Homo-oligomer: A and B are copies of this chain.
Amino acid sequence: MSTAVVVTIFTVVRNRLSVLLIERSEKPFQGIWALPGGLLQPGETLDDAATRKLQEETGLQDVFLEQLYTFDNLAQTKTETTVAYFALIHDADAKLRQELEWKPEWFPLSTLKALAFDNQIILENAKDRLRSKLEYTNIAYSVLPESFTLSEMQHVYEAITEEPLDKRNFRKKIVSLGIVQETGRLKKQGAHRPAKLYKFMNRTQTVI
């Protein structure tokens, strides 16, 4: 009878919403991919444990991480309750653990196989919450670099919602919300017109 945390870590890799999974090297569910998680350590709070897990797998701290839902009866182990968290990060900032066993890897949501335990349910839950929060908060900041173009930002929105967006309407809306600020200058990056760079006014979660 103990408490565990599990963390659904999302990012956008090459315009695809992806989740961090770990191939289990022990029973139960040996060889099956699972969300990162584990038992609370003595003296640790739930938030502590989720923060630690996120840090262990990605090296990141001080990023978007929030509690999702609490499940019971996960699998047939003796864990009684599992508190699920979800995080959203900028993939270039993450340094994944490089180990032979329990190796973490990004998977686009569209390419998922069967997951261990009840992780599928947790993941669906996390995806719903992520999409819903994208609509009424600025959490997109979590998945973008410090400075970015509006096209990059639009691709993030499209990856998460899986809906194409109209370019002009998207830009009009983001600008009128006043959540980003034009910053610095144009940059040269390829065979096309240089883009304006923007940054978020707030790199903490705010309701918009």
* Residues on A facing B (Cβ under 8 Å): 1-3, 40, 45-46, 67, 69-70, 72-73, 80-81, 83
Contacts and interface: CB of A to CB of B under 8 A. Distances in A.
Contact of A70 (B1, B70, B73): B70
Q: How many copies does the complex hold?
A: 2
A50 to B, nearest CB: 11
Contacts of A67: 69-70
Nearest to A44: B72
A44 B1 CA distance: 12
Given A45-B73, A70-B81, 7 more contacts: A1-B1, A1-B3, A3-B81, A40-B80, A67-B70, A70-B70, A81-B83
A70 B67 CA distance: 8
Contact of A83 (B40, B45, B70, B73): B70
Contact of A81 (B69, B73, B81): B81
